[in-house]
Amino acid sequence: MPETSSKNQWLYLRAAAATAVWGASYTFTKGLMAEVGPLTIVVSRAAIGVSLLVLVGGARLSLKDFTGRTLWRLFVLSVLGVSAQQYIQAYALKYTLASNAGWLICTIPILVAALAAVRGERIGWFKIGAFALGTAGTLLVVFGRAGAGAFALPSTKGDLIFLISCVDWVFYILFSQRWLAGWPQAKATAATMLVALVSVLPAWLLSGGPADYFAVSARGWAGLAYLGVLSSAVGYLFWNSAVEGLGGVKASYFIYLQPFSAMLASYLLLGEKAAAPAFFGGMLILGGVYLVGLRDGRARPTGVSVNS
């Protein structure tokens, strides 16, 4: 029994560390956007992430994993889950607060439930309440500073663009669950990152992407290392082991840490101060995430990870 308890505590720590790392990643991405282009961030994260997942993360890849229908599916997943998602997030963070991103990313479990409803799943009162809270919270986060009529950069449009990446990730979750159901999570993540790297590399080279590295400051290199090593590799490894050991239900409780990690990192590193409407809106979103997991009077979180 003590061994099991100790093992569970270690898994809880890993789940908490993964979500905290992902929350802080928006701060580092926002800082990097002042020095490099979005494609350079995507390429760097994918190159570092896939290398570490293969070398030390146990992701065993072979040529037969990249043939026929599987290759086409991996390409679609790489666009939805890596290249497009990370590019959109990086671009959006050029115009919005990193702390806002931390709140908005938590809309993903609510959006997953909404997609399930569209596909015919029965909608109960808990989910209706979740949609209402999530919508109200999102509106507060997006329009809290500028007012409901302000659709001008740098505030509102940046938030709305970031929401596109959340929708993007919802479809990534849907397709990956269908197409790679039998794959270990570390392998699926590494394969998706590798295909994303190969597919965006020509565009990055033709656009002069390598030149970005000559202008990167010491702080920028630290940001690239954080995103590649911690967010794209260690974060996934920790999360995967936590999900495998604890199950998706227990691991999903740690989703609630991500926005607070983003808020703390953005305050310490960027000097961003959380606006009261955005904070209140974020709490409404988290309330919606909680309601999404309620069924028959018992809390059952969705098991959906909100990664970055």
Q: Is residue 251 part of a domain?
A: yes
Determine if the pTM surpasses 0.85: no
* Residue 1's pLDDT band (cuts 50, 70, 90): very low
Count the alpha carbons within 13 Å of 208 in the hemisphere toward its beta carbon. Answer: 5
> Taking 60 as the threshold, does the pLDDT of residue 32 lie above it?
yes
Going by C-alpha positions, the residue among 79, 91, 24, 37 that lies closest to residue 234 is 24
Is 305 inside any structural domain?
Answer: no
Residue in the structure block whose two tokens are 């800082």: 31
Q: Quick check: 236 and 186 in contact, CB under 8 A?
A: yes
240 occurs within a structural domain? yes
* Domain presence at residue 101: yes
Q: Is the pLDDT of residue 306 over 70?
A: no
Our count of domains for the chain comes to 1
Amino acid at 195: V
Whether residue 4 is predicted with pLDDT greater than 70 in this model: the reply is no
Q: What's the one-letter identity of residue 235?
A: G
- What mean pLDDT is predicted for residues 21-47? 93
Does residue 30 lie within any of the structural domains?
yes
Token pair of 103 as six digits: 């709140």
- Per residue in 197-223, pLDDT tens? 999 999 999 999 999 999 899 999 999
What is the predicted pLDDT for the residue at 3?
A: 54
* Confidence at 300, pLDDT banded by 50, 70, 90: very low
Residue 307 resides in a domain: no
Q: Which has the minimum average pLDDT: 2-6, 191-195, 227-231, 289-293? A: 2-6
Confidence of residue 236 (pLDDT cuts 50, 70, 90): confident
- 74: its two tokens: 């991996």
Give the position of tokens 């990192």: 265
DSSP H or E segment with residue 298 = strand 298-299
Average pLDDT, stretch 274-281? 78
- Whether residue 304 lies inside any domain: the answer is no
- Does any domain span residue 190? yes
Stronger pLDDT, 47 or 138, i.e. the higher one = 47
Check residue 278 and give its pLDDT.
76
Closest CA to 109 of 243, 239, 297, 294: 294
Look up residue 188 and give its two tokens: 């699926």
Residue 194, pLDDT > 60, answer: yes
Per-residue pLDDT tens digits for 142-172:
776 555 444 444 556 788 899 899 899 889 8
Mean pLDDT of all residues in 301-308? 59
Domain containing residue 15: 2-299
